[in-house]
Amino acid sequence: MPRFAANLSMLFTEQDFLERFEAAAKAGFTGVEYLFPYDYAADEIKARLDANGLTQVLFNLPAGDWAGGERGIAILPERVEEFRAGVDQAIAYAKVLGNTQVNCLAGIAPKNADLGKLEITLIENLRYAAEKLEEAGVRLVMEMINTRDIPRFFLNNTSQALEIRDKVGHPNLFLQYDIYHMQIMEGDLARTMESNLAAINHVQLADNPGRNEPGTGEINYRFLFEHLDRIGYQGWVGCEYKPATTTEAGLGWMKAHNAI
């Protein structure tokens, strides 16, 4: 059975952020992920990880003005220096937290933008980040996100991501495969993950529709968990879903789907 990491940006949100680490450990999780660590001192987060025996699995590169609706800056030509500064910031946090992978959110394409120019900028930024992160012993993943939830999100399906990866041409760039997003955009989940296993370094989950916990929608998670074992997936599975009620009430899926 895969190793499951609690996404603290989505789970245990009834508590303050730093209190969620203990809650995740008490619920049986051994790893955690979240959007960003940058509002807190790295040492403060590290203390929470250590106190609760948790592995820091993943966080994102700085992604612009999140509260203002930005979802990444990697495609924006006018933000290259900001992107590069964000890579340095992520490396500094990763070294303290023991984090071995970070995710890049490409961003939302501005209306009427030159898509070719956006792609060139993304490729150059990913190449830069992959090299810098490799020097620090950290893997870079990039996430495909559905365009129903985030209209005009630039990187939105597996074939596009693989093409971008080929153009970047750096061995330290991998895919983050979010089952929820890819169910919406392309389906054929099991075959796609198996065919591209070597390129996938992180998986995330939520059911569809609703983006709630497994067992609330159409996705056969019992099959997919067994499938990930069968094909030899060695990474973490991040639980990035919105609890249908409370986090604790929704954790029954783990037992119901033989995840514990």
E strands within 144-185? 173-178
CATH H-level superfamily of 3-256: Divalent-metal-dependent TIM barrel enzymes (3.20.20.150)
Residue type, 48: R
CB atoms within 10 A of CB 135: 10
Q: What is the DSSP string of 86-126?
A: HHHHHHHHHHHHT--EEEE---BPPTT--HHHHHHHHHHHH
Active-site residue flag, 194? no
Give the model's pLDDT for residue 234.
96
- The pLDDT, as a whole number, for residue 260 is 65
**Which amino acid would we find at residue 215?**
G
- pTM (2 decimals)? 0.97
Residue 201's H or E segment, with its range, is strand 200-205
- Quick: pLDDT tens for 48-97: 999 999 999 999 999 999 999 999 999 999 999 999 999 999 999 999 99
The one catalytic residue among 119, 143, 163, 218: 143
Q: Where are the domains of the chain?
A: 3-256
Per residue of the chain (260 residues), what is the pLDDT tens digit?
Answer: 889 999 999 999 999 999 999 999 999 999 999 999 999 999 999 999 999 999 999 999 999 999 999 999 999 999 999 999 999 999 999 999 999 999 999 999 999 999 999 999 999 999 999 999 999 999 999 999 999 999 999 999 999 999 999 999 999 999 999 999 999 999 999 999 999 999 999 999 999 999 999 999 999 999 999 999 999 999 999 999 999 999 999 999 998 887 76
| Residue 240 appears among annotated catalytic residues | yes
- Helix or strand holding residue 183 (H, E): helix 179-185
127, exposed or middle or buried, with CB in 10 Å at 0-12, 13-18, 19+?
A: middle
H or E element in which residue 181 lies = helix 179-185
Compute, in degrees rounded to 10, the torsion defined by CA atoms 38, 100, 166, 124: 30
Is 90 in contact with 59 (CB distance < 8 Å)? yes
**DSSP 3-state helix, strand, coil percentages of the chain (rounded to 5)?**
40, 15, 40
Residue of 33, 119, 213, 240 marked catalytic: 240
Q: What pLDDT score was predicted for residue 246?
A: 94
CA atoms of 179 and 19, how far apart (whole Å) = 28
Amino acid at 54: L
Q: Could you tell me if residue 27 is left (phi over 0), alpha (psi between -120 and 50 degrees) or otherwise beta?
A: alpha
Q: Minimal CA–CA distance to 62: which of 91, 33, 42?
A: 91
47: how many CB neighbours lie within 10 A of its CB? 13
Q: Select from 43, 116, 184 the least CA-distant residue to 18.
A: 43
Please report the pLDDT score of residue 1 as a whole number: 83
